[in-house]
Structure 1
Amino acid sequence: MTAVRMDGVATAAAVKSELVDRIAALKARGVFPGLGTLLVGTDPGSLSYVAGKHRDSVELGIESIRVDLPATATEDEVRAAIVALNDDPAVTGYIIQLPLPAGIDENAMLELMDPAKDADGLHPMNLGRLVLGVSGELDSPLPCTPAGLVEMLQRYGVPIAGRRVVVIGRGLTVGRPLGLLLTRKGLDATVTLAHSRTVDLADEVRRADIVVAAVGVPGLVKADWVKPGAAVLDVGITRRVNEVTGKAKLIGDVDPEVAEVAGFLSPVPGGVGPMTRAMLMANVVAAAERL
């Protein structure tokens, strides 16, 4: 068996193409979607992510508003930048690129955002709506990576309802919200949220119909962990620099040999990453539609 490659680039392109008509309709009534980003510091990964998001916005004709602060920025300076983004009418949705430098309270910064402009779905009010099962494009944004994972599963025809899902990682941006999303009515999965303290992790994974690895441990999920035919989605990203060439390579949490066992496999790179950005664009457009 060789897994079907879940092409995030092609799937994201399909999602973005469907946004074109919605953006045109907004502009026809004088509403111009605008993506804002707040980046603090010069982390290479964060710089790359933010640049990619703005490339996507320009490609779609979404206004692009970028705010970059040095790593030495104080919490007061970050607060001021967030308030400015809240007040900027050109910004219909924005993100705070995480992680923030040490010493800055990420939760406090997220709480300061205007929930209506929260394009990542990470404001406590929007996460609360996810808990209540009432979030979505027409109400409030879903977190981008979980929404992108579900979109990819659905577009590849992977059954979700009633299936066993193991999510490895309990982080705010992927694991916790993904578990909530997959168990809501209409998706109806049975989800186990695994983490570093999980006993017999391999045994948990072997029982799963869908596996999501999101911990940033290269090659963690081995081929003999995976049920034959399972769908495996790799969210983990580790940036490894070649000491000779100086070039960075992205490595996922899933061992390449899993491709010989799984039914579906999302690669790194080219899998979940493009889908996360596509869902961000969808959140920005949906925020403009709610105006």
Structure 2
Amino acid sequence: MTSSTQAPPAPPAAGGTGRTTIPPVKVGRAQTTFYWMVWPAVIAFFLFHTVPVLVGIFYSFTNYAGYGGWNFVGLSNYANLFKDDRILAAYGFSFLFAIAATILTNAISLAIAMGLNAKIMARNLFRGVYFVPYVLAALVIGYVFQFLFSSSLPKILSGIPLIADNILTNETWAWTAIVALAVWQACAFTIIIYLSGLQTIPRELYEAASLDGAKPWRQFSSITFPLISAFFTINVVLSLKGFLQVFDQIVALTNGGPGTATESVTLLIFRGGFSGGEFAYQSANAVIFFIVITIVSLFQFKVLQRREADF
């Protein structure tokens, strides 16, 4: 009887350790690829964003009308802004609109997100449906709503005087139609953010709270809202910042009218700067508006993040 023998393993190469070696990563090539990808974006951002901003700041200290020559006027444009009733009215409208739209957007979006986060049938389908308004062009949707408010609703709801007379022509209430359009479109993105936050909350917390006898409102105030407070902060800051810069919805629905009742700061800057011969003056207005939005956003972060820490 003969026994089979196995060939001995091949010895490692001379000077080797017997282990498989991994070739070193070529760091230099990776860094080169990274720079080739990043630098074009940085250069494009600088040319198409930073340079125009710096040019606008420069012209804000002049009397440039958008054509012809110009002279330095120092801070006179900035001083005149605080004496201009039309600009002050535009700031008042912008803040009124932004605050109302921010509150409604976040309240409605959070309620819808909580419904979508529950165990309901076809919730993924509903998520897609609710996100549709965000991907549609604001001007296109604005013109659809303009037809709705000016032609359809006055016939359908002819018994309501405010709507029957075309709310878009009412100086006192025209802004509410713009709020309705802006909130309808903004809720899409806000719902997605809230859904992301709600999905981070373990179901076990609600089960434990239910066993302890906590009612739905108690669960919301003690579990849901504290745990999504960071998402709430992001949504509120982004909503208020975006609504302060409202432009497309106003152009589509009222174009700033009746009169100047719905004229926002951004619409005023566009009108005066590009067609009103006030390029330098409205450039100064844009600088002030940028500072105002920055201060408001930082204040929101400070207050809301402190609330997160308290939770």
Query: TM-score per shorter chain, which class?
Result: under 0.3
TM-score (norm 1): 0.24
The structure having more radius of gyration, on CA atoms, is: 2
**More strand per residue:** 1
**More helix per residue:** 2
TM-score (norm 2): 0.23
